[in-house]
Structure 1
C-alpha cells in the first residue's frame, strides 16, 4: 500500500510531471507526425508545454511535407523572398493556407512558335517538360504531331516549343495519354474518318533528351476501340481507362487496367468488373490521388445528359473496384455538372477541376477544388486572379511535380461570330499557367 501511495504521489504531486511531456521533443515529433491534424490540435490543448511544442515551425514544416508533399514545400521555399530562409517562414500559417486554398492566379506563357490551335489532344508534364500530342483542329482534321517544351523549375513566363520528328501514333483526337513511371503511355482515339482506335503506344526519353514513340506489344487481349475515354496511371506499372465512345457510337462503361512489364517491353490488358460501377459515359476525367485511389468525375451519359457524380477506383490488392462518393445535398450540383473539363492532381492529393461545358454546350471558365482525402467531402469554388482565360472545353491540363502550378493548353472556345457562320466556336492555341495562391 505504501508503494502504491508513493506512486500516486509521484503522479499527482506538485512537482510531478506528465509522462507525455517527459518524452524528448524528437520522439514527440515522430509520434505527432503519425496523427491526423485533429488529434494534433487536441494534443496541443493539453497544457502549456504541448501548446508551445505544437507551435514549432519545424513541426508544421514536417506536416506540410507530409500532407501536401515534399515538392510543394520545396516550391514554397524557392518562391519565398531570397532573403528569407526556410526557418523564418511561418509554416503553421502556410499549412492553414494550403488546407483552406480559396484562390488561384493565371498568367499567359509566351511562345513564339508552337503547336497550332487544337482540342481533345493530350498534354503531360514529364521529366520537367510539357509533352503534347495530336488532337483535332479546324475542318474536323486530326493531328499527328508531337511537341515538347522544357519548363524545369524556374517558372518563367516564356517557353520554347520544339517539334519532335519521329515515328509515332497516327493522327487522332480523343485519345488518352498518361505518365507511368519513366514513360508515357497512349491509348486509343478517333481519326478524322471517325474510326476508333485501340492501339497502345509508349514513349521514353532518350539520352539526347528527346522522346521516341513505339507501338507497345500487348498480346491478343485489348480494350475495344474507343475515343473520348478517360485514363490515368495508378502506380509505376499500371494504367486505368474507363468509358468512352465505341465503334457504334454508343457510350461505354467498361474498366480496363494495363500492366507494364518490368523492362517496359510489353504490357497486358485486364478488364475489371465490379458492382456498383459508374454508368457509361464519355468526356469525363480520371485522376489518381494516391493511397490506391483514382477519382472519376463528370462526363456525358448515354442519354446525352451531363453528369456531376464522383466515384473513386480502389486499386489496392484487397479491393479492386469502384466506390461511389456521396455528398450532402448541395445547391451547387447544377454548376458542377460538366463534360470536356480537366481534372488535375494538385498538392495534398486534391483535384483541381477547370472549364468544360454543360448540357447546353455553354463553356465554363470556373475553377473547383475537390477534396476527398482523409474522410473529407469538400467542393469549393476558387477565385481567379490576374489573367482571365476564355471559357473553354476539351482543353488539356497538367500539373508540375510540386502540384502548385497547372499548365493549360488549347480547347474549344467561344470566338467572334462572323457573317454566314452558324456559331462563333473556334479552336484555341493558348498556353497559360494556373498558380495556387498560398
Structure 2
C-alpha cells in the first residue's frame, strides 16, 4: 500500500522534470521546473530517510545552473549530474559531481557546443572535446567502473541512440561502439539487470513507443524483447523504471499527452527464446 510521507519543516516546492537519487540513507533532489512548468529551478535538497526531514543544500559556487530533464547518478560518496536543458546560451555540456562528504560541487568541463557554420574558421572542422554534447531526457546508470549515458534529445538532431561511458578513475568519456544500432529514444524508462541495460518506451522524436529493448554490456549487442502486445504496457514517455530482484517495474508517464498512474512489472526470467 502507498503511504504519504510528510517531511518536517521546510520542503521543496512542487515540481516536475527534476532529478532524484538515493545515496547514504538520503534522497537527493535537484532542479526541475515549478509553478506549473513555468519556473526553472536551481535548488538542491536532501531528504533524510530515517528522520523524515528535508534539508536544503548549498554546494558552493560550482553548483550547476537551473536544469530540467537531467540525470543524477550515485557512485560511492558522490552524485554525478549530467545533461538537461540549460538554455540557448550554454556553450558546453559539463558533468557536475557533488561530494556528499565535503558537500561541495565540482564541474568537469565537457564538449563545447557546435559553432554555427558562418562563424567557423577555415579548416576548423568539429570543435575539440571528447564527451557527449547537450541532451535532455536521457538515462544514466552506474556500472562498476563507469557511468553509462544512453539516448536523449539533442536540439537540431532530435532523439539519439548514442551510448557514452564516463570512467570514474580517469574522469574521461568515450563513445561506446555497439555491434548494431539501438533505438533512438528520449524520455524513456531504463534500468540495469545482469549486465544488461533494459530500455522501455519513450519517444523517438515525436512518436511515442511501447517496445522493450536490452543492451548487453558484455557482447555490446542490442536486442528487442518480444512480448505479447495484449499483456504489455502501451506507448508512453516520461515514465520511471527500476529493478527490484528479478523484476523490472515501470510507473506513470504520459500517452498522447494524458498522464497515467499505471504500474507494470516485467519478469526477467520470462524472456522468450531469441529475445
Q: Shorter-chain TM-score: which interval?
A: 0.7 to 0.9
CA contact (8 A) 1:273 1:321 kept: no
Alignment partner, residue 300 of structure 1: 203
Name the counterpart of 2:108.
Answer: 216
Cα displacement string for residues 329-374 of structure 1 (whole angstroms, at most 9, x for unaligned residues): 33144x432100010122x14221110011x2111011111221xx
Tell me the equivalent position of 1:278. Answer: 182
Cα distance between partner residues in 2 of 1:352 and 1:144:
29
1:376 and 2:270 aligned: yes
Give the C-alpha shift of residue 308 in structure 1.
1.2
Does the 8 Å CA contact 1:195/1:247 hold for their aligned counterparts? no
TM-aligned CA deviation for residue 300 of structure 1 = 0.7
More strand, by proportion: 2
Summarize the Cα distance change of 1:345–1:189 in structure 2 as closer, same or farther, 3 Å threshold.
same
Deviation at 1:301, TM superposition (A): 1.0
Uncovered stretches (5+) of structure 1, i.e. residues with no partner: 1-104, 379-438
**Distance (whole Å) between structure 1 residues aligned to residue 159 and residue 147 of structure 2:** 20
Q: In the alignment, which of 219, 222, 227 is matched to residue 136 of structure 2?
A: 227
Q: Report the secondary structure of 1:308's partner residue.
A: strand
Contact preservation (8 Å) 2:93, 2:109? no
TM-score (norm 1): 0.54
Q: Which residue of 2 aligns with 1:253?
A: 161
- Rounded Cα–Cα distance in structure 2 between residues aligned with 1:356 and 1:226: 20
Give the match for residue 173 of structure 1: 68
Shift of 1:267: 1.2
Q: How far did residue 121 of structure 1 move?
A: 0.6
What is the rounded CA distance, in whole Å, between the counterparts of 1:177 and 1:337 in structure 2? 25
TM-score normalised by length of structure 2: 0.83
- The structure carrying a bigger helix percent of its residues is 1
Partner of 1:126: 23
Distance 2:90 2:151 in 1: 16
Q: Tell me the secondary structure at the aligned position of residue 192 of structure 2.
A: strand
Match of 1:330 among 229, 232, 239: 229
Alpha-carbon displacement from aligned partner over 1:48-88 (angstroms, at most 9, x marks no partner) = xxxxxxxxxxxxxxxxxxxxxxxxxxxxxxxxxxxxxxxxx
Cα deviation, residue 275, structure 1: 4.0
RMSD: 2.3
SS of residue matched to 1:352:
strand
Decide which of 214, 222, 230 is 1:312's aligned counterpart: 214
Does the C-alpha gap of structure 1 residues 349 and 221 become closer, same or farther in structure 2, counting only changes over 3 Å?
A: farther
Structure 2 unaligned runs (5+)?
A: 112-128
